[in-house]
Every structure is written in C-alpha cells, then in structure tokens.
Amino acid sequence: MAAAASPATAAAVREAAPAHRQIGIRPGHGPAPFRIGFLAKPSSRWAAISVPPGPRRAAPAASAARERVTEEEERPVSVELEPIASEQQLDWVLGEARQLQLPIVLLWMASWCRKCIYLKPKLEKLAAEYHPRIRFYCIDVNCVPQKLVNRAGVTKMPCIQLWSDSRKQAEVIGGGHKSWLVIDDVRRMIEQEE
C-alpha cells in the first residue's frame, strides 16, 4: 500500500527537479524567460532553449515578404476567360480590341474535350499574368455557328489563337502536348507579338 507523501518529501522532490522544469518568478529577477524543452537524444536527457521575454521584432526579410504579399494580393491569381457565343459578339470584341490597340487571345474549345478542360484553368492563370494588357476569351465550338469556326480556321482543339488588328496573327494547337508545354508555347507566342 502506498503511503501519502509528506510535506518534507514533496520539498525534496522540488529541489531535485531540473531547473528548466521550474516555472515561476525568480526572486529579484522578474519572470523567468520562456523555455522550450525538447528531447536531445532518445535517452531521457532534456535540452532547454531560453527565449527572452519582450516584444518580438520582425526581421527585414519578413517585412519585405509582407510587402510582396500585398503586391500579389492586388494582382489577380486567375482571370476567368470571357465566353463568346456568337459571330456578332466576336466582331464586337475584335472591334473594341482594335480601338484600344490590345491583342486578344481566343481559346477554341469543346465541352467534351478533355485536353480543353485541363488547359482552361492554366490559361486563366496565364491571363492573370498579362491582365489588363491582353484580353483572353473562350469559344465553345458546339455553341457557335460552324461559319464562325471556319472563319477562324480552327481545325483541331484546343486551339489558342492570338488576334491583333482584327486578324489572326498566330496560333498554338494543344492537341498532343502536355498542358504546361502548351502554356509555354502560348507565352512565347504572346511575347513575340509584344
């Protein structure tokens, strides 16, 4: 049977405890610094790290990172591609782009095309990089007249075209490529036009 611990035994245990486990106020020194304990080796020996109390100061790198985050917050991560549903709408978009002297990128896709579906979010991220210098649009070939598809010269999908001055300047066909390769080709196509 275990006997109840006497007050003398409890005081002896407190004196034998390591200093890093004692938390409290040291006489004449104010509060003890924060201590973080961790197991130094698989054995039962502990190591202690003291962290001085007081306000924490941000490092210069941390403030620069905070500034970068605020700049990135202002720029969108992704820009949704505006859909074009008719030939009149495409003519209006091309006319507006010509007035503003902005090139536009058209993604010709189909809702059933797996590569088109994979490519669209990546193009939306690319659109955010060039926003607002270049406008990005998407056209579902199943929702527009075949006359419009023939006018643009689309033969395979996904087809990404760069239009400037109401004329097709370049195109990338994303048929047998990985989507990141297609995005690199689109980026090169845009850089050559600018």
Q: Is 113 a catalytic residue?
A: yes
Helix axes of 114-130 and 179-193: crossing angle, nearest 10 degrees: 40
What's the gap between Cα 14 and its chain centre?
53
The one-letter code for the residue type at 65 is A
CA-CA distance, 105 to 170, in Å (whole number)?
10
Q: Is 116 a catalytic residue?
A: yes
- Give the alpha-carbon dihedral of 16, 22, 26, 31, to 10 degrees: 170
- Which residue out of 113, 138, 143, 159 is catalytically annotated? 113
126 CB contacts (<8 Å, ≥6 apart)?
136, 183, 186, 187
Q: Copy the structure tokens of residue 175.
A: 């048929």
Name the residues annotated as catalytic: 113, 116
